[in-house]
Amino acid sequence: MTAPLPLEAEIEAAACALARGEVVAFPTETVYGLGADATSAAAVRRVYALKGRPATHPLIVHLSGIERLEDWACEVPQAARRLARGFWPGPLTLILRARADIDRTVTGGQDTVGVRVPSHPVAQALMRAFERCGSGAIAAPSANRFGRLSATRAWHVRAEFGDAIARVLDGGACTIGVESTIVDLSTGRPVLLRPGSIGPAALADALGEWPAAPGADAPRASGTLASHYAPRARVMLVEADLVVEVARILLAEGRRVAALAREARQPLLPELRWQQAPPDPEGYAHALYDTLRMLDEAETEVIVVERPPPAEAWLAIADRLQRAAADRSAEGGARAGGEPRS
């Protein structure tokens, strides 16, 4: 059953809490956000502290509409306006040159700022209410501990933070389920920093050119570290014909193993938890974090994941799984059986 949307009074109360410098969790169409007043350095620092997020890792500023762009960007190129008109409200973040008067706490110390206009009705209602009692701009990374699985349901947020977050607006399960597409427009040519549900072909149709791949000089942006979006369990990405064999080897080592594959078949390995994923990319993305979180809750040590197809529709899913499977040791993470990183 779909969760009822928050009442207007709940949204007004959450907006007032933002105006007082508090942190509020709220749904977007992509994932749940951990929101604070983007114009308050003190409030933004609370978000960093709650997540355990490095201060150099920028946040995304959520706005109610395209007309708020000039409040944050010192220049808005035509390419940005084309993308905004084509995809806002929606799952697209634009990286632009930040105004000189914007506090650099929210930008991770950079001279660029990430902005987006979410389409979720609760997010829109919250920002409109916040415009009446505050700045109307909400800095919001995903509502999870840094590097961990993003939250796509209200209970994910509560499980992650407990009483540390007093207000969680429940908007039901996020429709898309993976984070927004991020396009950098701060240096002239469009650069795709993070794939999402809006793919390169759709971006190219709006821009008249294909977005470039990021280079070494690309600005830092949310969710672009090599290791990210990770469950506590170790994730192993393998080809479809190797899933069962790899799982068999791990089980022989005494590991608690789950397989995540698009096939319905259950191999003759009674100790193996076989989790069928939706066969289509939209369904897979919608269920991805919920499924990985469920396998974590079952105390799985290793999740053997069938590598997604090499098609554009699967690009965002492949990106999230690759980061989930990356070696976390260099960034202070832990492997299976250890403590999760913050």
Q: Which single residue is written with the structure tokens 């009483």?
A: 163
Residue 295 lies in a domain: yes
Residue 212 lies in a domain: no
Identify whether residues 173 and 260 lie together within a single domain. Answer: no
Q: Which single residue is written with the structure tokens 């389920």?
A: 177
**What is the pLDDT averaged over residues 33-49?**
98
pLDDT in the model for residue 3: 62
Identify whether residues 203 and 119 lie together within a single domain. Answer: yes
**What is the pLDDT averaged over residues 46-51?**
97
Domain stop point among 188, 207, 226: 207
Confidence class for position 265, pLDDT limits 50, 70, 90: confident
The better pLDDT of the pair 298, 3 is held by 298
pLDDT in the model for residue 224: 76
What is the pLDDT of the chain when averaged over all its residues? 92
Q: Taking 70 as the threshold, does the pLDDT of residue 22 lie above it?
A: yes
**What is the pLDDT averaged over residues 142-146?**
95
Instruction: Determine the structural domain holding residue 123 and report its residue range.
Output: 8-207
- Specify the CATH number for the domain of residue 60: 3.90.870.10
Q: Taking 90 as the threshold, does the pLDDT of residue 40 lie above it?
A: yes
- Specify the CATH number for the domain of residue 318: 3.40.50.11030
**What is the pLDDT averaged over residues 77-106?**
97
**What is the pLDDT averaged over residues 259-285?**
92
Task: Enter the pTM of the model.
Answer: 0.92
Identify whether residues 265 and 167 lie together within a single domain. Answer: no
Total domain count for the chain? 2
Identify whether residues 169 and 27 lie together within a single domain. Answer: yes
Q: How many CA atoms lie within 13 A of 244 on its CB side?
A: 10
Identify whether residues 239 and 285 lie together within a single domain. Answer: yes
Identify whether residues 102 and 201 lie together within a single domain. Answer: yes
Confidence class for position 107, pLDDT limits 50, 70, 90: very high
| Cβ contact 230:238 at 8 Å | no
- Which pLDDT tens digit goes with each residue over 204-235? 999 999 999 998 888 888 877 778 889 999 99
The answer to which of 133-142, 201-210, 260-269, 333-342 has the lowest mean pLDDT is 333-342
Domain stop point among 207, 223, 248: 207
Residue 340 lies in a domain: no
Residue 339 lies in a domain: no
Identify whether residues 281 and 140 lie together within a single domain. Answer: no
- Which residues have C-beta within 8 Å of that of residue 235, sequence separation ≥ 6? 292, 302, 303, 305, 321, 324, 325
Identify whether residues 143 and 238 lie together within a single domain. Answer: no
